[in-house]
Amino acid sequence: MRQEFVAQMDTLDQDLLRMSRYVRRAIERAIEAMDTCDVVVAEQTIDADDRIDELADHVDDQCLQLLALQAPVATDLRIVITSMRVSQTLERMGDLARHIAQIVRQSHPHKPAPEPIQQKIDQMAELVVQAARNVVDALTDRDIKLAGRIQDEDDKIDDLEIEINKLALDESIELTRPQLSNVLMLARFLERFGDHATSVARRLAFQIQGIAVAHAQDFSTTQE
């Protein structure tokens, strides 16, 4: 029973990591499509989101089965619950990458926004791609320091959103209505993606710290 449980927890962990890599790939491709005005890459990103959704459902099922059949406690319970939530958040990040790719597709063969706004969006996008990469690494290495950095870096993403929204309302920059719509939506989707990356980082940190606390308690109990 215990052996089976450990194997199931391991599968769950592997699937969640795979999901995070799919999401990283999705946002990398969406931004690559924006950089190169490549509608084929945009289409591929849109189509690939189904795979993330399927994996999210699968992770969900695994968590429910683990809860129902193994009734995990303490650290294990915390891991299962965190996995459910991280899966839900990653699924949403996949949706946002798809939304970005849809804007790229719609504005093809042009970039979604004119300069100097596109440049700011590109800066924001770079930070968001980095956040997705950091999420994969933090989850893989259970790296609490990196989880902290993801949360810190999110402030820069938020600042850029504010800056872009200001530029969008600056009448001295010429913008068509579809361009203004692209700018506002891209800024929003990128900002949300960053928020979700932060949420994954926070949950991971909470899980690792919780486990650290639990271990310390185990230890102190042993000492008594």
Which residues, other chains included, contact 191 with Cβ-Cβ below 8 Å and sequence gap of 6+?
124, 157, 158, 161
Stretch that binds a copy of itself, among 38-46, 71-79, 106-114, 215-223 (CB under 8 A): 71-79
> SS3 for 113?
coil
Question: Does 1 interact with a copy of itself (rule: CB under 8 A)?
Answer: no
Shorter beta-carbon distance to a copy of itself: residue 136 or 164: 164
Residue 148 identity: G
Strand segments (E) across the chain: none
What are φ and ψ of residue 54, in 5° steps? -65, -45
Nearest CA among 47, 26, 183 for reference residue 111? 183
CA distances from 89 to 23, 52, 162, 224 (A): 10, 11, 23, 41
Question: Does 81 interact with a copy of itself (rule: CB under 8 A)?
Answer: yes
Question: Does 162 interact with a copy of itself (rule: CB under 8 A)?
Answer: no
Minimum CB separation from a copy of itself for residue 149, in Å? 25
Do the Cβ atoms of 129 and 31 come closer than 8 Å?
yes
Q: Looking at residue 112, what DSSP letter applies?
A: S
Shorter beta-carbon distance to a copy of itself: residue 90 or 136: 90
Interaction residues for a copy of itself, span 131-150 (CB under 8 A): none
Question: Does 180 interact with a copy of itself (rule: CB under 8 A)?
Answer: yes
Tell me the HSE value of 125 on the side-chain side, using a 13 A CA sphere.
25
Question: Does 171 interact with a copy of itself (rule: CB under 8 A)?
Answer: yes
Question: Does 2 interact with a copy of itself (rule: CB under 8 A)?
Answer: no
Shorter beta-carbon distance to a copy of itself: residue 149 or 188: 188
Minimum CB separation from a copy of itself for residue 176, in Å? 9
Do the Cβ atoms of 118 and 180 come closer than 8 Å?
no
Minimum CB separation from a copy of itself for residue 168, in Å? 7
Judged by the rule CB under 8 A, the positions of this chain that interact with a copy of itself are 64, 67-68, 71, 73-74, 77, 81, 84-85, 88, 165, 168-169, 171, 175, 177-178, 180-181, 184-185, 188
